[in-house]
């Protein structure tokens, strides 16, 4: 495979970036839902 | 549950499309293996357009209906659009270096207008942090989202309107990607990656929308808590009737003289 470094860097960052964002999003969502648990008035 | 199934399907689709793009489809005759980057690069660019289009439409929805659910869709789509724009730029750089000989060129209208698109929507997200009032924030964001959307057709048609290093548009030009002479594996790789990334985008949009709604509910809870606390706080007792309280309030002013 020619230009293998560029191909790996291209795919790695794009697919890896998507996966990292998805994981971060799930974490943010879980944290936001935790804050909304009963008895928490946000104070 | 449906969203979870969608997420699992999207992961499997992205993995399959990635493996096919890397190992299944043959290398391009002229550009070699570097051309493989085209599949995720074009798919990311398509989803960046779609995201900012959805942000603009949701902004119009907010301005007409004054329903904060539209604003939640707008912010969700804008954040995902920023991600896909950054990924498209990265993919373009990794493809451009072996093919053009440069990572980036500021003279190129497609590259420069895409960088502007990224800056506009990063600005959109930053602008949203300036106001705590959800209605005011949504109105400002809707206006900026609509103005910023003007850059979407400029990015797309820049390669037609001006001289550019960049090749002409790949998608929204069915005669190019679906031309009978286009080898089937290349078409399959591109359409497969587009479909897989669009599934992933749909899942991300649903989850980011849920996050926006949860954040708004939390903001409202904080606001409600502060109002309740202010209402239940003991009021100052006037000592010696109204005159006493007036005297108390005047005392510091007189002392200041």
- Quote the percentage of chain B above a pLDDT of 90: 66
What are the beta bridge partners of residue B28?
B32
Average pLDDT of chain B to the nearest whole number: 87
Confidence of residue B224 (pLDDT cuts 50, 70, 90): confident
* Residue range B2-214, CATH number: 1.20.120
| Residue B190 pLDDT greater than 60, yes or no | yes
What pLDDT does residue B248 have? 46
Chain A residues near residue B91 by CB distance under 8 angstroms: 10, 13-14
Query: Between B182 and B143, whose confidence is greater?
Result: B143
ipTM for the predicted complex comes to: 0.85
Residues of B engaging A, defined by a Cβ cutoff of 8 Å: 7, 14, 18, 21-22, 27, 32-34, 36-37, 40-41, 44, 83, 86-87, 90-91, 94-95, 97-98, 197, 200, 203-204, 207-208, 210-211, 214-215, 217-219, 221-226, 228-229
Residues B101-122: what's their mean pLDDT? 94
Lowest average pLDDT, out of B31-40, B190-199, B230-239, goes to B230-239
Q: Report the distance separating Cα B194 and Cα B180, nearest Å.
A: 19
Phi-psi region of B85 (alpha: psi -120 to 50; beta: other; left: phi over 0): alpha
pLDDT band (50, 70, 90) for residue A43: very low
Of the listed ranges B79-88, B114-123, B169-178, B192-201, the one predicted with least confidence: B169-178
Tell me what the mean pLDDT of segment B24-34 comes to.
Answer: 89
Nearest CA in chain A to B215: A32
d(CA B92, CA B167): 11
Place of tokens 């928490």: A40
- How far does B33 lie from chain A, in Å, by closest CA? 6
Alpha-carbon gap, residue B144 to B125, rounded angstroms: 10
Judge: B87–A13 Cβ closer than 8 Å, yes or no. Answer: yes
Which pLDDT belongs to residue B255? 43
Q: What are phi and psi of B28, to 5 degrees?
A: -70, 145
Cα distance between residue B234 and residue B50, in whole Å: 53
Mark yes or no for CB contact B33/A9 under 8 Å: no
Distance CA(B89)–CA(B23), nearest Å, equals 23
**pLDDT score recorded for residue B178:** 59
Confidence of residue B184 (pLDDT cuts 50, 70, 90): confident
Q: At what angle do helices B109-127 and B151-161 cross, to 10 degrees?
A: 170
Q: Of A14, A26, A32, which has the smallest distance from its Cβ to B87's Cβ?
A: A14
Please classify residue B162 by burial: count the beta carbons closer than 10 Å to its beta carbon, then call 0-12 exposed, 13-18 middle and 19+ buried.
middle
């Amino acid at each position: 495979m020619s230009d293998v470094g560029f191909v790996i860097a291209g795919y790695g960052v794009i697919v890896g970036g998507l996966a990292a964002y998805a994981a971060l999003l799930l974490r943010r969502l879980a944290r936001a839902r935790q804050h909304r648990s009963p008895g928490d008035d946000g104070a | 549950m449906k969203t979870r199934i969608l997420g699992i399907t999207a992961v499997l689709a992205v993995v399959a499309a990635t493996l096919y793009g890397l190992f299944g489809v043959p290398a391009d005759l002229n550009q070699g293996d570097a051309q493989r980057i085209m599949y995720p690069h074009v798919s990311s660019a398509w989803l960046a357009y779609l995201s900012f289009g959805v942000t603009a439409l949701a902004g119009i929805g907010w301005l007409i209906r004054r329903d904060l659910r539209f604003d939640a869709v707008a912010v969700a789509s804008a954040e995902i659009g920023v991600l896909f724009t950054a990924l498209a730029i990265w993919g373009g750089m990794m493809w451009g270096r072996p093919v053009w000989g440069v990572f980036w060129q500021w003279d190129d209208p497609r590259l420069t207008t895409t960088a502007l698109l990224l800056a506009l929507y990063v600005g959109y997200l930053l602008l949203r942090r300036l106001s705590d009032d959800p209605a005011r924030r949504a109105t400002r964001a809707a206006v900026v989202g609509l103005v910023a959307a003007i850059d979407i057709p400029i990015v797309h048609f820049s390669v037609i309107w001006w001289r550019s290093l960049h090749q002409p548009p790949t998608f929204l030009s069915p005669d190019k990607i679906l031309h009978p002479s286009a080898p089937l594996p290349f078409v399959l790789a591109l359409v497969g990656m587009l479909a897989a990334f669009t599934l992933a985008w749909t899942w991300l949009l649903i989850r980011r929308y849920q996050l926006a709604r949860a954040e708004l509910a939390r903001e409202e809870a904080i606001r409600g808590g502060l109002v309740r606390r202010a209402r239940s706080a003991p009021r100052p007792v006037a000592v010696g009737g109204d005159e006493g309280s007036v005297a108390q309030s005047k005392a510091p002013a007189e002392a200041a003289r």
